[in-house]
Copies of this chain bind each other. A is one copy, B any other.
Amino acid sequence: MDESQVIGALSALSQETRLRMLRYLVKAGPAGAPAGEIGEAVGSSSSRNSFHLNALAQAGLITSQRQSRRIIYRVDFAKVGAMVGYLVQDCCGGNAQVLACCQPGCCDGEGGV
Query: Is A41 on the interface with B (CB-CB < 8 A)?
Result: no
Chain A interface residues (CB < 8 Å from chain B): 1, 3-4, 6-8, 10-11, 13-16, 19, 22-23, 26-27, 77-82, 84-95, 97-104, 106-108, 112-113
Given contacts A77-B98, A102-B102, whether A91 and B14 have CB atoms under 8 Å apart is no
Are B91 and A19 neighbours in the complex by a CB distance under 8 Å?
Answer: yes
Q: In the complex, which residue of chain B has the Cβ closest to the Cβ of A11?
A: B14
Q: Are A85 and B102 in contact (CB under 8 A)?
A: yes
Known: A7-B14, A16-B7, A19-B7. Contact between A104 and B94, CB under 8 A?
yes
Minimal beta-carbon separation of A97 from chain B (angstroms): 4
